[in-house]
Every structure is written in C-alpha cells, then in structure tokens.
Amino acid sequence: MALPLSYNWRNLFVRRTTTALTILVIAAVVGVLSWMLGFWTALSGSLSFAQDQHKLIVLRQASTSETNSAIPPEESNKLSQLDREVALDPTSGQPLKSPEMIVQVSLPRMSDGGRTRANVAVRGLTDDGFKVHRNVRIIEGRAFQQGQLEVIVGESISRQFIGLKMGDTLDLGYSGNRGYKIVGVFSAGGAPMESEVWGPLTTLMNAYQRNAYSSVVLRLDDKFNAADVIRKVEGPTIQLTAQTEAQYWDAQAKNVRTYLFIVSGLVGVMCVAAAFSIANTMYSSVAARSREFAMLRTIGFSGRAIMVSIMIEAVFLSVIGGLLGCAGAYIYLQIMGRTKDMFGASTFTTMAFEISMTPMIVVYSLGAVTLVGLLGALTPGIRAAKIRVVEALREA
Amino acid sequence: MSSADIEIKKLKKVYYKDKMEIPVLAGLDLSISAGEFVALMGPSGSGKSTLLHLIGGLDTATAGSVRVGESLLETMSEAQLTSWRSRHVGFIFQMYHLVPVLTAAQNVELPLLLFKMKSSERKERVKTALTIVGLGDRMDHRPNQLSGGQEQRVAIARAIVTDPDVILADEPTGDLDAKTSEEILNLLNLLNEEFGKTILMVTHDPKAAAHAKKTVHLEKGQLEREEFSNRQPMAAAR
C-alpha cells in the first residue's frame, strides 16, 4: 500500500526554495522542448502535404532547386518523349506539363512591423499549373489571368508579410517598377507552396527578362513509377534531372533539420541537467527525512513503498514544472507570433508555417519530463528504500 | 483487543565496527507474559534498545530465539518481518517521529493504510484512537501546532490504532517534563490495564519504571535482576 498523495504533495513545500528552483529548471527545459516539438510538428505537417509521388519536378542537370535551374523552352521540348508516362488533361487531351519560372523578392515581415525582410518565391505559371498542382485552390478572390498584371498569394504567406492582402499591389519585375494587383488568395492544403506568390508565366518572364524556365512540373500517369520516369529524364536522350515533390521539399528542409538537430541536442543536455536538479532536490529531501523513513519502515511500510513515494514527489515536481513550461511556451508564441519561417536550403526563399501548442505536444512534453523526473529520483529513491532503520532511528 | 506473550532464549547480538566485535546481548533469557507491563532499565550500552529492536523485528539476532505470540522472528524474512510488525507491534519513540506535513489524524491513519479497510472504517478507528489518548479535539492539528506531550499522545494513538498485540516504547517520556511524563505513563497504564496490551518500555527513569508491573534490569547484555512493583491498578487507585 502506498503512502497518501497528500504526504508527497505537502513534502514538496517543506523545502520551498529548492523546490521552486527545480521547478524553474524543469519549466525552462519543457518550454524549449515544447517549442521545438511545435516547430517539428509544423515543419513535418507542412512537408507532409507535399508528398505527391506522381508530381515530378524537372530541373536542369545538376541543379538542386528551381532557383538555380534554367531549362530553355527548346530543351523542355525534349520532355515530349515522356508523353506516354505523363497524365493527360481530361478536357484538352494534352499531357499535363507545367513550365514554371521562379524568382525571389524581398518583402517586409509582419511579425516585427516590417523592420526585417525575407525572400519570398514568386512563381510564374500557365493555366496548366493549376491542373498539375492539384491541391491548390482559390479560397478568396479569383485566379490571375494570363497576360494581366495580376498575382495570387499563398494563404500562409499572406499572413506573414506586409502588403500581401487581397487588393494590395505588389511591385515586381527586373527593376521592380510594375505593380501587380493581388486578385486572390490560394491554399495548397498546408504544403510549402502556400508560401509563394503566383502570377502569369509569360508576363513574369518578360518582367524579369528570362528566356528559360526554372522547372517543368509533370503530373505522371498513375500507372507509372516515379523512379522509372526519373531514370528516363536523367538518361542520355533528355539529360535533365527530376525529383518527386516529396524528395524536393525534403531536401529543402535540410537547413531546418540541422537547426532542430542542434536544438534537440541542447534539449537533451538540458534534460540531463533537469534530471540532476531533481536528483539533488530529492537527495536533500531524503537526507533530511531519514528518521521519518525509518519510522515508516518501523510501522510496516516496505522499502518499495517509500521508493515509490519519492518517485511520486519527483513526478509532482516534473508535472508542475512541465505545465509551467508549456504555459510559458504558449504565452511566448502568443506574444511573439506563432508564424515561423524557414529558409530553404537552396531555394533562398522563405517557407512559412504556424507553430501550435497542440494537446499532443503538451502530452509528449509532460511525458518526457516525467521520465526525466523518474530517472532523477531513481537513486535517491533507492537510497530511501535501503535506509538502515535502527541506525536512522538512533540519529539525534 | 489482542495481546501476546514474549519468550526470549539465549539471545545474542554482536555488532561489528571496523572488524571489531562489539557484543551487546550475551545469551539473554527473558519471559514476558501476555498483558504484562514491563520496564527495561540499565546503564547506557547495556542492550535495552537493542533488545527492543530485536523483539520488534527491526533487527535480527546473531544467535538465540525471539518468540512473540505464535511468531518465531528468527525464521522470518525481512519482508515478512515488515508485514508482521504492521499487524502485531505498536512502536512509541522518544522523539515521537510524527510526519510534520500530516495532521494528527493523518499521522495516526498511516499504519491503517497497510490494511484493506474502507476509508470510513479507518476514519472511525483514528477517531477512537485519538479519543483514547485525549486528543479527539486535535485531529486536524499538525505536529508543529501541538505541545510535546500532545505529540507523544498522537504517537501513542498511532501505535494502538491497529490494535497490536505488543507495544514497544523506547524512552517515551525522555523528552517530556515531569507532569507530562506522568500523563503519558498513566496513558500507558490505561492501555495495559483496560485494553490488556503487553507493553515493554525502555527507560532510564525509576519513576517511569514504577508504573510498570515488572522491571527488568540489564547489565552488559545480561539479565541482572527482575523487580515486581506493588503498584495499585489505576482503577483501584481511583
């Protein structure tokens, strides 16, 4: 039979300063941990929406992103060799190919009132682009018209940058002196494309004096395997390179993965520090209560019951610290803004996503810190359980 | 109400310190009848507390035998002794050893948590035990809100709440003034005479020992002599 929980709870407040400091350490660890988990969840969520295995992004040979790729129209014609593998447009009966051009523009961030700027991708594409990028839909306004100075903006980016609302005018072009009216907002189901501005291909190519596409995006027929088609694209007759959408965005997230890997290491070190802090608190508690434990053993409580009791106190500490940490991270996100941007590894453009403190993140964070608490309390718990009753009772 | 006799045969206890043998009990024989109130006296180091610990199953003998009621302690494992203590022995310490963060009632309730018992029954037993020791109106007080005498009464209530066969008291009045000591000793007499408890009390104080029916004097781990008191039972005294 275990000791009553009220016993464990009240014991936390006997050594208030030590308890408060330990809770503070745990709260700091959980704050960073939950923020990091939120970041991971948001990033993974965004990338998980770009997992189309039948959308192929064709680039110039040796290019790693659309930004450093250039496919002249005559080279793109070689892709007609893939007409058997590419899906057909049900209305026109033509293969679904979307030649696209991408440039970056620097725009003011909304989060700091426009003091800093970040690169945003502007994509030029034909009407076929909407058929190739199936998950894109207009959620406000309408699509741009070819030949017009009109653009549409991604849902995510419209919330993150100044001047990207419906009806605003965006200056684009080589010298940035042509105003493009924002006529619509589009959603891409959370995929990274929501962080882009889209406009008419030919108009934008002229504006940026481009004579080559950045990429050609193909929609494959479901019957064909992407890997086989990629081999054909990279073969001697076409001599371009290709990646599925999933592969492409996975590579772009490399920077953030490295960053999060470093943060994870830091959180790991903090967890060890928290475990030591809990161990220290519980050790001093055990040392001060040796006669109390001896009395409990005398009246019939087992060593295991006392060890469990110490563990429960550590779990209380961990959960209080954990809840404070989660609350701190939540407040931080509310004040500093939940939208975060990621710099593409080789696109040099921004991908925006929202960090949320989901119940799952709270559960994971509390679970992790509870484990840390239990580990920290293990040795003090064993020490309390193995107390020498007669000697402890004789202590003055 | 339950009670048990105690039979000690050729009991030896040797402690080791830095490979040195320190004999504390040297083949002690002692019999205590059920319902007897015995005081254990003797100079420091004579083995009084060690004997108490061995009878209470807190320590194991080097040789010899301790039987409490039907239980032969040397045949029991540590886990069995722990469980046995919770059912058969009530301990009272000089320093009370109450849990400071719990109320008087919660302190008294602690031993009952080891039994399968409804909460309502536990509460009832706690109330009865605290009423017997005269603290029915201090149930929700924490130890730091009680006097030394009251703390010892709570400790006594904790010792009797499980209705043990034997009460072992190690200098129960050692930290109390004369008046409070008298009250505590009268309480022990009450438990012995009205509830029939076998009580073994270690003390240095002859006035405290005078409350017992028998006083056992130890010297160098051996039984020196036994004295019987002509003390009148409390009911007769009243």
Lowest pLDDT segment from A100-109, A172-181, B46-55, B95-104: A172-181
Within 8 A by CB and 6+ apart from A287, the residues are none
Asked whether residue A369 is assigned to any structural domain, the reply reads yes
| A294, A179: one domain | no
Domains contained in chain A, number: 2
| pLDDT tens digits for range B183-201 | 999 999 999 999 899 999 9
| A33, A150: one domain | no
Helix (H/G/I), strand (E/B), else coil: A171: strand
Chain A residues inside the 8 Å CB shell of B91: 295, 298-299
Quote the domain boundaries for residue A34: 5-48+254-394
Give the closest of A7, A13, A297 to B99, CB-based.
A7
Chain A residues inside the 8 Å CB shell of B79: 302
| A21, A98: one domain | no
| pLDDT tens digits for range A32-61 | 888 888 877 777 776 666 677 888 999 998
Under the phi-then-psi rule, with left for phi > 0, alpha for psi from -120 to 50, and beta for the rest, what region is A138?
beta
The answer to whether the CB of B40 falls within 8 A of the CB of B170 is: no
Asked whether residue A56 is assigned to any structural domain, the reply reads no
Chain B residues inside the 8 Å CB shell of A291: 95, 97
Within 8 A by CB and 6+ apart from B165, the residues are B2, B3, B4, B34, B68, B69, B88, B89, B197, B198
Asked whether residue A242 is assigned to any structural domain, the reply reads no
A295 and B97 within 8 Å at the Cβ level: the answer is yes
Predicted pLDDT of residue B216: 95
C-alpha atoms less than 13 angstroms from C-alpha of B43 in its C-beta half-sphere? 4
Q: Which of residues A198, A220, A242 is at a domain's end?
A: A220
The answer to whether the CB of A176 falls within 8 A of the CB of A122 is: no
Predicted pLDDT of residue B18: 84
B97 and A394 within 8 Å at the Cβ level: the answer is no
Within 8 A by CB and 6+ apart from B121, the residues are none
| A305, A362: one domain | yes
| pLDDT tens digits for range A134-163 | 889 999 999 999 999 999 999 888 888 899
B101 and A14 within 8 Å at the Cβ level: the answer is yes
CATH fold for domain B35-49+89-237: Rossmann fold (3.40.50)
| A283, A325: one domain | yes
The reply to whether B153 touches chain A by the CB within 8 Å rule is no
Predicted pLDDT of residue B69: 92
The reply to whether B76 touches chain A by the CB within 8 Å rule is no
Terminal-to-terminal C-alpha distance of chain A:
29
| A290, A337: one domain | yes
A296 and B110 within 8 Å at the Cβ level: the answer is yes
A4 and B114 within 8 Å at the Cβ level: the answer is no
Helix (H/G/I), strand (E/B), else coil: B187: helix
The answer to whether the CB of A212 falls within 8 A of the CB of A24 is: no
Residue of A nearest to B102 (CA): A7
Residues of A at the B interface, defined by Cβ within 8 angstroms? 1-4, 6-7, 10-11, 13-14, 291-292, 294-302, 389-390, 393-394
Asked whether residue A189 is assigned to any structural domain, the reply reads yes
Alpha helices in chain A (DSSP H): 5-12, 16-48, 73-76, 128-132, 155-158, 201-207, 226-233, 245-252, 254-288, 290-298, 303-336, 359-385, 389-394
The answer to whether the CB of A135 falls within 8 A of the CB of A54 is: no
The reply to whether B79 touches chain A by the CB within 8 Å rule is yes
The answer to whether the CB of A381 falls within 8 A of the CB of A307 is: yes
Chain B residues inside the 8 Å CB shell of A292: 97, 99
Give the closest of B58, B106, B114 to A1, CB-based.
B114
Residue of B nearest to A305 (CA): B114
- Whether pTM exceeds 0.90: no
Residue of A nearest to B85 (CA): A300
B102 and A300 within 8 Å at the Cβ level: the answer is no
| A115, A39: one domain | no
The reply to whether B87 touches chain A by the CB within 8 Å rule is yes
Q: Where are the domains of chain B?
A: 35-49+89-237
Chain B residues inside the 8 Å CB shell of A14: 100-101
Nearest to A26 by CA among A246, A250, A296, A328: A328
Write down how long chain B is.
Answer: 238
Min Cα–Cα distance to chain A from B92, Å: 10
| pLDDT tens digits for range A201-211 | 999 999 999 99
ipTM of the complex: 0.91
Nearest to B114 by CA among B103, B125, B130, B127: B125
Within 8 A by CB and 6+ apart from A79, the residues are A58, A86, A97, A216, A218, A233, A238, A240
Helix (H/G/I), strand (E/B), else coil: A185: strand
Lowest pLDDT segment from A275-284, B1-10, B23-32, B151-160: B1-10
Greatest Cα pair distance in chain A: 95
Asked whether residue A197 is assigned to any structural domain, the reply reads yes
Min Cα–Cα distance to chain B from A341, Å: 51
Cα separation, A157 vs A55, in Å, equals 23
| A203, A331: one domain | no
Torsion angle, alpha carbons of B118, B123, B128, B129, to 10: 100
Question: B58 or B231: which carries more pLDDT confidence?
Answer: B58
Q: What is the DSSP string of A234-253?
A: TSTTT-EEEEEHHHHHHHHT
Asked whether residue A60 is assigned to any structural domain, the reply reads no
Greatest Cα pair distance in chain B: 55
Which H/E stretch holds residue A341?
Answer: strand A339-343
Residue of B nearest to A396 (CA): B95
